Chains A and B, each alone.
Chain A
Amino acid sequence: MPPEPFEPGDTAGEYVLGVLDAGERRAAAERIASDRAFASEVSAWERRLFPLTSVIASVAPPAYVWARIRAALGHDRASPARAAPASPWQRVNVWRWISAGALALAAASMVALFVGRRAPVAPTQPAPLVAIMALDNGAPAFVATIDGAQGTLVITPVTAWPDAQHVPELWLIPAGDKPHSLGVVDAAKPITVTVPVDLRSAIDPASIVAVSVEPPGGSPTGQPTGAIFAKGGISGI
């Protein structure tokens, strides 16, 4: 085959077609932001090639993707429409932090009170522990206060559960071990969970607690089947 003559690239077309490598794509993206003529060429290529997508089969994404999106954006059912972009929902997050902090503190003092009252009876009782399970963006979603001696844990939701078709399931993940289910928890109010006796030794700062998105009734497999909604370490109060 004779060598083809050199063809100058139509960078906008190549960008939309998807053949550019990572560095070339970054350069093109920067050019879109700064060069209006180039941005128009890209738009024109997008309109030209878009009809190709009509043969791509639609695939419904799993429900937990929507749950994650709502969680990442800090949306909940009670939140009103955003008045202006950015700042109001940042404020919402601030409030969520404050309320979570307050809740954790309240829960902690309840535990302290509880432990304090019992102190004369059980003087060697370990210090109470707390776990704040946070979303990927750092906002807290569930707070657990743990009574290691009793093997119980009070888990309190501090953000709205985003997926009415699925339920939150609590997991204890000892260091280097697989998740162990502590059962389905309530998405709307605090409940007390009893940790199985053989897992109580794992209630320590080396373990992680997490909440996953599961079908009603909980994971059918004994391991998380949906996305991890929130997770956090265990620490002393």
Chain B
Amino acid sequence: MRHRVHLRYLCVADAIEASWQISVGGDHVTDLTESSSGIERLRETLAAVARGDSAAFETLYRSTSAKLFGVCLRILPKRSDAEEVLQEVYTTVWRKADAYDAARASPITWLVMIARNKAIDRARAATSERHAEPIDLAADVADTAPPAASVAESDNERRRLDGCLGELEPQRRRLIRTAFFEGATYDELASRSGVPLGTVKSWIRRSLLKLKACLER
């Protein structure tokens, strides 16, 4: 089922709010953080946050927190862990917004990677709950998801990455995707898939080399 969620917040009347819509339905996500006008607005918002503008910070939170929370929830099975990490992500963003380098990443890439890193660090903590469900290498479930509907400028990059992932053997592609989405270690991938550790390492490392070469073609 596909439905549209209009995110509206009482406190912030802002151009981003007014135009902001996220459609959520299964794996479909359309968001404006990746359209060229969205990137530009987000960049301006982030620059304002770096100057200590707390209204801009709220705008940033309202327009990006659902995406970042989704990223954290995939890595951390325990919801309260994901909530704590999300809090940590935004307090870091408030303090480090001036470290954002537009030459290196789009604003949403920068934010998502902060969320991923903090979520993975949390997942590595001894007290955290971890994904333990078996990885069935015969079922390439994730890859049967329909392509994301998007107005994004980054559609091309996505298609290229999908194309390059498509050149990998299905079992290796599945391990790469599970590693990325869940932040699983080599050890976890090996025990969950039943593939020997050395083979998992070799597959992933070869796949990374292939991906890099393919994307740079």
Contacts and interface: CB of A to CB of B under 8 A. Distances in A.
Given A21-B187, A81-B54, A46 B109 contact: yes
Contacts, number: 179
26 contacts: A4-B198, A10-B205, A10-B208, A17-B208, A18-B120, A18-B184, A21-B187, A22-B125, A29-B117, A43-B105, A48-B215, A50-B157, A52-B161, A54-B150, A54-B154, A56-B74, A58-B70, A61-B83, A61-B86, A68-B87, A69-B87, A73-B91, A75-B57, A81-B55, A88-B52, A165-B10
Contacts of B70: 56-59
A53 interface: yes
Nearest to A22: B124
A178 B80 CA distance: 20
A103 interface: no
Nearest to B58: A66
Interface residues of A, number: 56
Contacts of B113: 16, 46, 50
Given A8-B205, A58-B31, A164-B11, A52 B177 contact: yes
Main secondary structure of the interface of B (DSSP, over half): helix
Contacts of A19: 179, 184-186, 189, 204
B4 to A, nearest CB: 12
A13 B210 CA distance: 12
Given A1-B199, A60-B69, A85-B98, A52 B180 contact: yes
Nearest to B83: A65
Contact of A54 (B26, B29, B61, B209): B29
A165 B62 CA distance: 15
B71 A81 contact: no
B91 A50 contact: no
Interface in B49-89: 51-55, 57-58, 61, 65-67, 69-71, 73-75, 83, 86-87
Interface centre among B10, B11, B55, B98 (most CB of A within 10 A): B11
The 9 closest A-B pairs by CB, nearest first: A82-B52, A18-B183, A7-B205, A4-B202, A58-B66, A51-B158, A22-B124, A13-B208, A61-B69
Given A48-B215, A65-B83, A82-B52, A7 B154 contact: no
Interface in A50-94: 50-62, 65-66, 68-69, 72-73, 75, 79, 81-86, 88
B206 A81 contact: no
B104 to A, nearest CB: 4
B22 interface: yes
Interface string B194-217: 000011011111101101100100
A3 B198 contact: yes
B112 A53 contact: yes
A113 interface: no
A81 B51 contact: yes
Contacts of A83: 52
